[in-house]
Chain A
Amino acid sequence: MVAAMKRTLAEKVWDRHVVRRAAGEPDLLYVDLHLVHEVTSPQAFEGLRTAHRAVRRPDLTLATMDHNVPTTPATPADDISLKQMDAMARNAREFGIRLYPMGTPEQGIVHVISPQLGLTEPGMTIVCGDSHTSTHGAFGAIAFGIGTSEVEHVLATQTLWAARPGTMAVTVEGTLPRGVWAKDVILGIIARIGVSGGVGAVVEYRGSAIRGLSMEGRMTICNMSIEAGARAGMIAPDDVTFAYVEKRKHAPKGADWERALDDWRALPTDDGARFDREVRIDASELRPYVSWGTNPAQTVTIDGRVPDPEALEPALREAAGRALRYMDLTPGTPMRDITVDAVFLGSCTNARIEDLRVAGDVVRGRKVRAGVRALVVPGSMLVKAQAEREGLDRLFRDAGFEWRDAGCSMCLGMNPDILGPGERCASTSNRNFEGRQGPGGRTHLVSPAVAAATAIAGHFALPEDLS
């Protein structure tokens, strides 16, 4: 009986949100916060309209525009995108939902703005029609992506039918080597467990290397949980979390803050609680990673070479061969010898203030290699404003980077920022799928530090490689 009481963080948060549990049914789960953006919501609102339904909790719903917004006035949105943004504005108005459209100081990538506004807090359930909703798990929330039909369901009922997921622990113990950032930790994890290593489970990231990360770093890790196929990623809330949340716009204040803290301190996984699966990683073995293929598990460390598919295990060979043909890479090539056409510093994975500070330090007093197109796209207009207060925009502009407005930008090729066919990009984003950054584009996933150094060198490089 006592053993049965020991629960993981994920189980505690899940259980407290169950509205209804019955045999033969998934749980009916309450949603504390529903984030909405312009791309996956129009059909959901149309469904509500057709059925004469209202939004049950507009006060627990926040909308922004991020996926298809242009990030510079020089490249305006196309007509279809404008129509989609208009639909978002009209739907927010009609259904009474708070919206931060283009041109407002709070606008930005949905997974960047919610934590900044203090809407993302420990112990919550958060959903959004976007797979990178897993980002919010960094606060000890259960957060996951849903499709448009489920968006409509949450709008109408503030609940979701969902089976209680499995649990998985990924423990990273030790001290991260110098130059290894959160992005490298998650790429290293995905390299070990694979792109479907987390399917069906909520992954809890644990261990001293994780606890040592800032909230920005933790968000980078949880963000890419979906790249391991996980339902969600989580990190137990601690003093780092509380310090981040405290005093933000929507954070509890006064006596409420104390009540919230008491609640949040009880959330971490109980000693002796069991996970369905456990993976342990030695932090000292991690290095900066660069992807060579077309899924996020196809990576090597920057000291490595493009692999020979024939040397891989049989199950991986065919996909590796196809990936290398798409990426136009030759086995045996040292990663540092690969030159790039573009560098993208942005996305919900790596466009927070800490990411820009790290990259800014690397480019200080240096110049982007001639012929390389380099973009910095802050994750939100609040991040942009803070970076400008710190003078980071000057560092980037002086080095030859374009300094843009907030948005998803070149992460996903549905706004004016795209790669041309055959162009090769060092990108701080999360997916290196074929055509992800534009039809025929070739994406290499890296950390902000490697992206910045690569922009200067013109080929994959570490900051310490620069003269």
Chain B
Amino acid sequence: MRAVQRVVGRALPLDRANVDTDQIIPAHWLKRIERTGYGAGLFEAWRRDAAFVMNDPRYAGASILVAGANFGSGSSREHAVWALDEAGFRAVIAPRLADIFRANCLKSGLVPVELEPEVVTMLLELALREPRTEIMIDVGRRVVEAPGVRASFALDDHARARLLEGLDDIAVTLTHADEISTYEARRATWLPSLRD
């Protein structure tokens, strides 16, 4: 995974709640067997509307998506994170992110930031009013800063360390292989198995 200490960039204001994963990356894109090639599918249906904010040239190159509550709801497709990443986004800010989407972000180094609704509204208004405004997200200090805005966000130590160091989760877990084996030795013998 890519390590990330700070994200500094302009914001794309997506002032909608409950943006689901079928909007972020429609299902027909999920037929691919590669981890790349999803950027063009990001918000595919909405991008056909010339008035959609992503088509506004003032937001070209934005690297922080600011959205309404419950962003990423719906399916477990990590392709949603891959599509955002390929389109140049390094962080997503919303009052609330869907659970699986948030977990997927942490696996790919896309920084998930949940802030109070009023703070997100301030950031949305700032980006709408002044598209060139830069937002700074500091993973180590767990703070977001923009002109007139300074807010901290929750990120557990474990997730924070992995983002900062870009650690391979599996390698870390395998250092606990003995504990896994010990657990396995005491599992009930009647639990189902495909060996049967």
Using CB atoms and an 8 Å cutoff, list the residues of chain A in contact with chain B. 19-20, 24-26, 28, 30, 32-33, 39-40, 42-43, 46, 51, 53, 56, 58-62, 67-68, 78, 80-81, 83-84, 87, 98, 118-119, 121, 124, 129-131, 133, 144-150, 152-153, 156-159, 161-163, 195-196, 199-200, 226, 229, 231, 249-252, 256-257, 259-260, 263, 295, 319, 322, 412-414, 431, 433-436, 439
Contact = CB atoms under 8 A, between A and B. Distances in A.
B157 interface: yes
Nearest to B108: A149
Interface in B165-196: 169-170, 173-174, 176-177, 179-180, 183-184, 187-196
A433 B74 contact: yes
Contact of B73 (A150, A196, A257): A196
B99 to A, nearest CB: 5
B15 to A, nearest CB: 9
A39 B30 contact: yes
B165 to A, nearest CB: 15
B73 A434 contact: no
Of A156, A161, A433, most buried by chain B (CB within 10 Å of CB) is: A433
Contact of B76 (A56, A147, A434): A147
Nearest to A29: B183
13 contacts: A24-B157, A28-B179, A118-B192, A121-B191, A131-B76, A145-B75, A147-B81, A148-B78, A163-B156, A200-B99, A249-B196, A295-B18, A322-B16
In the complex, the 6 A-B pairs of residues with the closest C-beta atoms, listed nearest first:
A147-B78, A149-B107, A145-B76, A42-B33, A147-B104, A256-B190
B40 interface: no
Contacts of A84: 31-33
Given A24-B157, A25-B158, A83-B33, A150 B107 contact: yes
B173 A146 contact: no
B73 A414 contact: no
B35 A147 contact: no
B112 to A, nearest CB: 12
Given A147-B107, A157-B174, A434-B22, A131 B74 contact: yes
Given A20-B179, A43-B33, A26 B188 contact: no
Interface residues of B, number: 57
Contacts of B188: 259-260, 263
Contact of B170 (A78, A129, A152): A152
A42 B82 CA distance: 14
A300 to B, nearest CB: 18
Interface of B: 16-18, 20, 22-23, 26-28, 30-35, 45, 69-70, 73-79, 81, 96, 98-100, 103-104, 107-108, 156-158, 169-170, 173-174, 176-177, 179-180, 183-184, 187-196
A146 B73 CA distance: 13
A156 B34 contact: no
B30 A43 contact: no
A319 B73 CA distance: 15
Contacts of B30: 39-40, 67, 414
A413 B174 contact: no
B158 A19 contact: no
A226 B100 CA distance: 10
A20 B191 CA distance: 20
A19 B178 CA distance: 10
A156 B170 contact: yes
Nearest to B159: A26
